[in-house]
């Protein structure tokens, strides 16, 4: 059966079919490789975005904590804590809570 078709087909046509077959294989290979590379680049970009957001959140929390420490040190007057009575210290804490409020 194959001999019958080989007599009909010109060797030049067979060569074109073979070249076309390998060309299609090469095209699909390069297409698959480009899809994989684009996917890896996209994943890398997502990781970078998440890391930068995490840094921003960390910096924001750190600045909030530093501001809270500054306000508490200013309000509670920790340098003179031994000179105050317990009642005065409690009054000072209540004043600070009323003045600066309680933040979650």
DSSP 58-85: HHHHHHHHHHHHHHHHHHHTGGGGGGS-
In a domain, 22, yes or no: yes
Mean pLDDT by 10 residues, the chain (104 residues): 54 70 86 95 92 91 87 78 84 82 60
User: What distance in Å separates the CA atoms of residue 27 and residue 10, rounded to the nearest whole number?
Assistant: 26
In a domain, 82, yes or no: yes
In a domain, 66, yes or no: yes
In a domain, 39, yes or no: yes
For residue 38, what are the domain limits? 11-100
Domains in the chain: how many in total?
A: 1
User: What distance in Å separates the CA atoms of residue 74 and residue 67, rounded to the nearest whole number?
Assistant: 11
Q: How do residues 51-81 score in pLDDT, each as one tens digit?
A: 989 999 999 999 988 888 888 788 777 777 7
User: Which residue in this structure is represented by tokens 């076309």?
Assistant: 20
């Amino acid at each position: 059966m194959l001999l019958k078709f080989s007599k009909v087909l010109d060797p030049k046509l067979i060569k074109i079919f073979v070249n076309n077959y390998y060309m299609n294989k090469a095209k699909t290979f390069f297409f698959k490789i480009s899809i994989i590379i684009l996917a890896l680049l996209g994943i890398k970009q997502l990781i970078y975005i998440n890391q930068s957001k995490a840094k921003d959140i960390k910096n924001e929390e750190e600045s909030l904590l530093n501001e809270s420490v500054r306000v508490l040190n200013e309000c509670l007057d920790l340098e003179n804590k031994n000179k105050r009575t317990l009642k005065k210290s409690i009054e000072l804490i209540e004043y600070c809570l009323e003045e600066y409020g309680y933040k979650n």
